[in-house]
Amino acid sequence: MKKSSLLKKVIIISTLAIFSISFNADIQKSMAQDLTPVSYRQQNLASINGKIDTYTSLLSQNSADQNSRNSLAVAYIDRGNYYFDNAISLANAANDYRKAIYYLKYDEITSPQSILNENINIAKDNLRKVFLQQKVSLDPKSRLKIAKSLRGQGSFKEAIVEFNEALANVSQKLESYESLGDIMRVLQKDNIAIEYYTNALSIDPQNALLHLKLARALNKTENFDSAIKEYNLALESGENNAEIISALENIWTAKIVENPQDAVAHMNLGVILQKKKDFNGALSQYKASELIDPASVNLRLNIGTLFQAKGNLDMAIKAYDSILQLYPTHTLTHYYRGTALRQLGNNKGAVDEFLIVLKIDPNYTAARKAVFDTAKNSPNADERLAILSDFAKLNPTDALAQYNMAYELHSIKKIDEALSYYQKAVSVDPKLIDAYLNIASIYRGKSQYSEAEATLQNSLTINPDNQKIKKMLADVNEDSMMSIYQQAIDKYNKQDYKGAIEDYQKIISTQKPNADVYLNLGSAYQADNNYEEAIDSYKKALAMDNNNSDALYYLGSAYYTNKSYAKALEYYQKALIISPDDKNIITSINDTKSAIAESKLEKGLNEFNSKKYLLALQTFTDAIKINPNNGYAYYYRALVYDALKNYKMAINNYKVSIEKSQDINAAYYSLGIDYDILKNRIEAKKAYEKFIDNSKDNNDEYVKYAKQRVKNL
């Protein structure tokens, strides 16, 4: 099946009679032919391009020519079908369908004829089929990406279609509306741009740049009053640039030219000139406005701000006073009078003015901020404290008033008083996060970790996603653990092992412990002679850090103290692999080997005394394997050989025992006996003499016997 069969054909408009537009004979004839229901397969590309050129030209001559607009859209659908059917270019087909949708739906406000809606649906359906061929997603996020790409390529009409599709995603509406407004301005369709910018501002009303863009479009359509409003909103939102100032200056100047007696225009032009710091020009316009409307409060207020801007604060205050004589509750005047007094260094007078404003209008945010700023900027600490204290007392339900008082007290180290005011602040506004953080900080500084933790946990129930609170809570928990940890170490050093054990167990039960906590707990248990618990603690440390040589070493030492020498040796050797240069581990390994050998010797002697000579022989041999340098192991094995009457092996072992341990003098005596038995008189005599020389007690019966044998040999 050919692709063309997948595409919907265009509904041709045949109601020319409803349009009262004159065409020359050739064009009328051409259009009559165009409106005959003919399949797009029978049309060639040149013919379709000719129609597009013709209707584009007609529409440029008369933008209200709905018939030409509809026919142009039909031609674009035809060409899109041609590109798609002949597999020439899917991208070109998509753009032609987009242009058809643009002219039928977005170019101007079109009449809601069903035939037009059907052609829109045809273009949309065919565009979807192209997307399927291109394997492009119809998701609004994908449409936004396509729209941006088309805009970057300068395909503005096509981009408008895609940005409108992207509006289906709520999170993309602001960007899409703003982009649509920008493109419509490029296409010189400012009336439509105004609608898009207005929609964008409904989403982000504080966006200074959007206010400026809307003001430009309004200005272009000569909707000056609305433009002025938007320019001023842009200024208030922070977009204070030369373009706005210049535009407003031009608008107000034009209004004055149109009506020289427009007092408001003179005054507003003065405001603009004042922003340009053209103070003389501003004053001239204010005077012109005053001649026309001498009773204008706004004019007097502006004159006051002009003098204030010039630094003539006395004249500014006089201007403000002239208003307050007539309107004693005029909040804006009191506010500016307060700012002028603050510039003069009269902080108390300034605060009094701001308090008057707040008494008239408790929601006047700028005045409240001005009180705090005045206090903060005062170089006198007592004055700062007095201002904030008075304001906090006058406004017990103002959380920020309580907080700022607390912060000032906190900064001058009046901790307990600060804590009281912070607590007042959070009782008024439970979502005042900084107050919770500072309360916790105070408790933390006092090492009152449980109170700090409780404060932060309470805050988390109200502000569950706040990362600052979570971070400080983690820090407090760590500090708390370290405090108990240090306390446990101190108790251990003072030999209060049970107290240290309790503290370590508290850390384990309340915090996530690390290997060091279990290591120190094990040390405390071991010092308290509780070896089983010590071993269990060391093993828990190893479970958390299996390469911890200290844990391995201490586990070995616990087994050693508990006389489980084989286990001790196992863990010492593991520790040595991790820390091969640790002399303590090396020494412990040697001591353990000696201890194991000694236990073997004791076992072997018991077997020897029980005349279990073969068992004793094996036991002494095992002891030698464990510690080849233990002379007594050789000596005892020699005794076994003697008992077995294997005198040659006995002699060999006695000799090794003498080499390994110089203090085994009895080995010489035994050598003498064995050589005697083997009739080796020379070696027997040498051995007896060595025994005699090394003996300290000449009255010993063995010494006496040796001497007798030396005489006889």
* CA distances from residue 89 to 85, 485, 631 in whole angstroms, order as listed: 9, 74, 99
Which CATH superfamily is 604-712 part of?
Tetratricopeptide repeat domain (1.25.40.10)
Quick one: DSSP state of residue 669? Answer: H
Task: Give residue-wise pLDDT tens across range 666-701.
Answer: 999 999 999 999 999 999 999 999 999 999 888 889
* CA distances from residue 605 to 612, 616, 619, 669 in whole angstroms, order as listed: 10, 7, 9, 19
Is the pLDDT score of 27 beyond 80? no
CA gap 486, 500 in Å, rounded: 10
Q: What is the band of 450 on the pLDDT scale with cuts at 50, 70, 90?
A: confident
Is the pLDDT score of 24 beyond 60? no
Contacts of 399 (CB under 8 A, 6+ apart): 425, 426, 428, 429, 432, 435
Compute and round to an integer the Cα radius of gyration of the chain: 51
Residue 115 is predicted with a pLDDT of 53
Residue ranges covered by each domain of the chain: 604-712
Residue 20 is predicted with a pLDDT of 28
Residue 110 is predicted with a pLDDT of 53
Mean of pLDDT over the chain: 87
What the block records as the tokens of 670 is 């035994």
Residue 469 is predicted with a pLDDT of 87
Task: Give residue-wise pLDDT tens across range 105-156.
Answer: 998 755 555 456 788 899 999 999 999 998 989 999 999 999 999 999 999 9
For residues 402 and 410, the answer to whether their CB atoms sit within 8 Å is no
Output 468 or 231, whichever has higher pLDDT.
468
Query: Which secondary-structure segment (H or E) carries 551?
Result: helix 549-561
Q: Is the torsion defined by CA of 120, 125, 128, 129 positive or negative?
A: negative
Task: Give residue-wise pLDDT tens across range 622-663.
Answer: 899 988 988 999 999 999 999 999 999 999 999 999 999 888
What the block records as the tokens of 542 is 């190893």
Residue ranges of the alpha helices (H) in 38-89?
45-61, 66-85
Q: What is the band of 86 on the pLDDT scale with cuts at 50, 70, 90?
A: confident
Residue 9 is predicted with a pLDDT of 53
Is the pLDDT score of 565 beyond 90? no
Residue 208 is predicted with a pLDDT of 86
Task: Give residue-wise pLDDT tens across range 314-358.
Answer: 999 999 999 999 899 999 999 999 999 999 999 999 999 999 999
Residue 331 is predicted with a pLDDT of 95
Q: Which region among 239-248, 256-265, 594-603 has the lowest average model confidence (pLDDT)? A: 239-248
Residue 3 is predicted with a pLDDT of 43
Task: Give residue-wise pLDDT tens across range 225-237.
Answer: 898 888 888 877 7
Task: Give residue-wise pLDDT tens across range 489-538.
Answer: 898 899 999 998 998 898 888 877 888 889 999 899 989 999 899 899 99
Query: The pTM is what?
Result: 0.49
What the block records as the tokens of 407 is 């912060």
Residue 5 is predicted with a pLDDT of 40
Q: What is the band of 540 on the pLDDT scale with cuts at 50, 70, 90?
A: very high
Residue 464 is predicted with a pLDDT of 87
Residue indicated by tokens 């037009």: 116
* CA distances from residue 601 to 249, 320, 571, 612, 642 in whole angstroms, order as listed: 111, 109, 23, 14, 17
